[in-house]
Amino acid sequence: MECTINWGGPEGMLFVATTGSGHVTAMDGAPEGGGHNLAPRPMEMLLAGTGGCAAYDVVLILKRGRHDIQGCQVKLEAERAGTDPKVFERIHFTFIVSGKGLTEAAVERAVKLSHEKYCSASAMLAKTAEITHSFEIREV
């Protein structure tokens, strides 16, 4: 896996990332840090990537189990250390999974498997952060 980050120049703190798969995304800093608030902060991208990784796992596990999943949303709430390096210290994932006939046991199993076995991103962040989960099932 590879990624190239290019600075937007001396007028701010905009960075453009080009991923190995050929996709482009931007990151920017807060105005008080020299940025122009044009894009998410790098740490927000890290949190979003972790949520995406976990959601991917949950959807895939439920689909492979032939469950009728029709939606998956993950809300993440994170707390960072007050001093540098301001690592994540706590992250809570709230999964909102919708479908037909989804059982609590199936969704709980998918969330647990993601956390304990499959999600590389949350496994890395668990080295510094206490990671917790909850979920809600919505019938559609």
What is the amino acid identity at position 33? Answer: G
> Which pLDDT does position 80 carry in this prediction?
98
Sign of torsion, CA 12 14 15 16?
A: negative
For residues 133 and 95, is the Cβ–Cβ distance under 8 A?
yes
Rg (CA), the chain: 17
pLDDT tens track for 22-78:
999 999 999 999 999 999 999 999 999 999 999 999 999 999 999 999 999 999 999
* CATH 3.30.300.20 domain extents, the chain: 42-139
- Omega into 10 within 30° of 0, i.e. cis? no
What's phi and psi for 49, nearest 5 deg? -65, -40
- pLDDT, tens only, 108-135: 999 999 999 999 999 999 999 999 999 9
**Domain 42-139 in CATH: superfamily?**
K homology (KH) domain (3.30.300.20)
